[in-house]
Amino acid sequence: MQVNPASLSVLSSLLEARTGQRLSEGRHWRVEMVLKPILKAHDIASCDELIAQLAAPGSGPLCNETIDALLNNETYFFRDSDAFADLFRRIENTAERRQDTKKIRIWSAGCSTGQEIFSLAMMFRENAERWRDWSIELLGTDISHTAVNRARLGDFSQFEIQRGLPTRLMLRCFDQCGTRWQVKEMVRQTVRFRCHNVLEAPPPGPWDFVLCRNVLLYFPDVNRSAALRNISTVLAPDGGLILGAGETVLGYTDRFEILPGARSLYRLVSGELRQISSAA
């Protein structure tokens, strides 16, 4: 199966219209690979025939399946371990300021199949006594229904479980089921998942930390700005936004600034500073 430029253009337009993401040239190489299973499952002969069926009435389920396949759900446990260690130190600092409420809220936006937010859940579990009297709210959201359904199950392959996960956590926090591994109920019950697009109204805040790592890089500039604006409306005044190592807020918003001494961690700019920045 070959995907011609015209078909790529149609698929790119469909993806952007439905998700806000752009099918950049750097992602064209994987289109044929991810669409092959769909064509086989639905007995579709070619990509051109797939596009014709997507345009036909009643193609909703096939369209959703195609969109899900085009999304990049690459993730793994404790991705960028140094960033996780730094984040947990900052969570401890935030806890010092939350002694009155004893509540910490963390939102993983673009959580894919859940490895990122489960990594945090395991870190809290490892320090269960420290957080015994606290309310820890962990939310994972993603635009992909397939990814969210998998995250809710907490079910992972042998390959996925070996990517970034320390052996001690594999044994303490997972049950082996044949060749699959499932997150133990005691960890799963601490995390909620829901379908959500960061371009839509965000989950009600305030959130102490928002992780939106390696999500914005798939958006055109105008959508990056919109996503950052949405996040800024629900981040706690002293909260932190964590982006991927290759992402930045510069040029997309004046609502955030890099936290001094931090890597990929941003804080809200005060209203006064925003006005000065906008007037400059």
Q: What are phi and psi of 125, to 5 degrees?
A: -65, -35
Same domain, 151 and 226: yes
Mean pLDDT across 7-15: 92
136 and 230 part of one domain = yes
* Judgement on whether residues 211 and 263 belong to the same structural domain of the protein: yes
In this structure, the answer to whether residues 108 and 11 fall within a common structural domain is no
Residues 38 and 133 in one domain: no
Same domain, 61 and 133: no
Let me know: does 268 contact 239? Beta carbons within 8 Å: yes
Q: SS3 for 146-166, per residue?
A: HHHHHHHHCEEEHHHHCCCCC
56 lies in the same domain as 125: no
Counting the structural domains of the chain, the total is: 2
Same domain flag for 101 and 30: no
Identify whether 76 is part of a domain.
Answer: no
pLDDT in the model for residue 272: 40
What are the tens digits of pLDDT across the range 150-199? Answer: 999 999 999 999 999 999 999 999 999 999 999 999 999 999 999 999 99
Say if residue 215 is in the same domain as residue 240. yes
pLDDT digits (tens, 9 = 90+) for 81-91: 888 888 999 99
d(CA 131, CA 121): 12
Q: Classify residue 116: in a domain, yes or no.
A: yes
Q: How far is CA 114 from CA 124, 135, 146, 200, 243, in A?
A: 16, 20, 12, 20, 16
Question: Does 210 reside within a domain?
Answer: yes
pLDDT, averaged across the chain: 91
pLDDT digits (tens, 9 = 90+) for 202-220: 999 999 999 999 999 999 9
Question: Which residue segment(s) compose the domain that 104 sits in?
Answer: 81-275
Is 39 inside a domain boundary?
Answer: yes
* 75 inside domain: no
Q: Give the CATH number of the domain where residue 90 resides.
A: 3.40.50.150
